[in-house]
Amino acid sequence: MSKQSSHHRRKSEVNHSTTCDSTIQGEERQIPSIDILKAQKLDEINEILTAPKINIDRLREATMTKYGLVNDETRIKVWPILLGIEQLYKEEVQQSNDYKKVSLVNSYEKYKSDRQWIKYAQKQHKDAQQIEKDILRSLNSFDVCQEFTKSTKQLKREQLSNIITGVLVKSTRPEGGHPKCRLDEDLPQGNLHYFQGYHDVVSVLLLTLGENLGFYAADALSRTTIRDYMLTNFEGGVMPLMKLLMQLLKEMNFQWSNASLTLACHNHLSFPYTSSLQPQNQIKI
């Protein structure tokens, strides 16, 4: 066995995988297996994470290049960093038992512990009915949910509903603090509004990060990346974005631009192309 292939074997053993068998007969060269490539990717990510100062740009790039973040273990480490909630979560974990401390840090734990109030918010929120309908149809198509028992799915759906309501209600107090208002009070209008499909986004966060961290991730994501979709309507954020997108495609002379323009006759069609999440693909990254 050549030096190169023994190196591959050593590396693969470390990662509990096997080298690729697809050695072409008569050729010395061995194609690295997917496992090895993934291991290399993990090394690369770990190198970024263990550096004295984390290079966010490199980290972001790593999520988009081949194999993404490879596995959930890495996603749990990296997503909070990219969303800027890492510190928050660390503190949450440390202080979650001390409910006397009223601060944003443990607000989700507090919120979650008050079942009566959650039930109230889930009924009273202006998007409550729509959310309930979508929750009932949630978690059906993700591959990781296929093996869920009825009770597990039920539990996950409850958590999903908790997070969604939690984020929307929290947005009524954008400066932070406990989102709770009195039970006889009307919920004040928040600045984040539900849209169909949001539950899919949050599902991915819940399934990957768990309920607590999932809440903070959903909250951060809602206020930043997908904020345009969460305004009162689409006229304010989404429509202008679609127009901009078409213009950008044109400028880039992207072959797709012509195709989609011919196809759609109007730019709105690009909305489902760009915004609809394909859960199966999302989760398998």
Partner 1 sequence: MSKKQFLKMVILGDSGVGKTTLLQQYVTQKATGNSKPTIGADFQKKEVMVDNQQVNLQIWDTAGQEKFQSLGYAFYRGADSCALVFDITNHKSFENLAMWKKGFIENASPGDVNTYPFVVIGNKLDKEVNRQVTSQEARQWCKDNGDIPYYETSALENISVDSAFLEMAKTALKRGTQNALFSLPESIGGAGGAIKLNNFEDRGGAGAKGGAGKKKKNGTCC
Cβ-based nearer residue to partner 1, 9 or 193 = 193
Tokens matching residue 238: 């989404």
What lies within 8 Å, CB to CB, of 7 at 6+ separation is: none
Binding positions for partner 1, 213-272, rule CB under 8 A: 233-235, 238-239, 259, 262-266, 268-269, 271-272
Question: Closest CB to partner 1 among 40 and 130?
Answer: 130
Select from 29-37, 115-123, 165-173, 192-200 the region that touches partner 1 (CB under 8 A).
Answer: 192-200
Taking the complex as a whole, the smallest distance from the CB of residue 18 to partner 1 amounts, in Å, to 30
For position 277 contacting partner 1 by CB under 8 A, the verdict is: yes
**CA–CA dist 63, 71 (Å, integer):** 11
**What is the rounded CA–CA span in Å between residue 221 and residue 80?**
10
* Shortest distance, position 127 Cβ to partner 1, whole Å: 9
Q: Write the DSSP string, 50-107.
A: HSSS--HHHHHHHHHSTTTT-SHHHHHHHHHHHHT-HHHHHHHHHHTT-TTS-SGGGH
Q: Which of residues 132-151 bind partner 1 (CB under 8 A)?
A: 133-134, 137-138, 140-141
Q: Supply the minimum distance, in Å, between the C-beta of residue 122 and partner 1.
A: 17
Q: From 96-104, 166-174, 243-251, 274-282, give the range in contact with partner 1 by CB under 8 A.
A: 274-282
Q: Are 95 and 106 in contact (CB under 8 A)?
A: yes
Q: How far is the CB of 38 from partner 1 (least distance, A)?
A: 24
Which CB, 75 or 199, lies closer to partner 1? 199
Give 229's contacts (C-beta < 8 A, 6+ positions apart): 195, 197, 198, 237, 238, 275
Taking the complex as a whole, how short is the minimal distance between the CB of residue 133 and partner 1, in angstroms? Answer: 4
218 versus 238: smaller Cβ distance to partner 1: 238
Q: Determine the size of the site formed for partner 1 (CB under 8 A).
A: 35
Interior/surface letters 72-103, b for 16+ CB within 10 angstroms, e for the rest: eebbbebbbbbbebbebbeebeeebeeeeeee
Owner of token pair 């009195």: 182
Contacting residues toward partner 1, per CB under 8 A: 130, 133-134, 137-138, 140-141, 193-197, 199-200, 233-235, 238-239, 259, 262-266, 268-269, 271-273, 275-278, 281
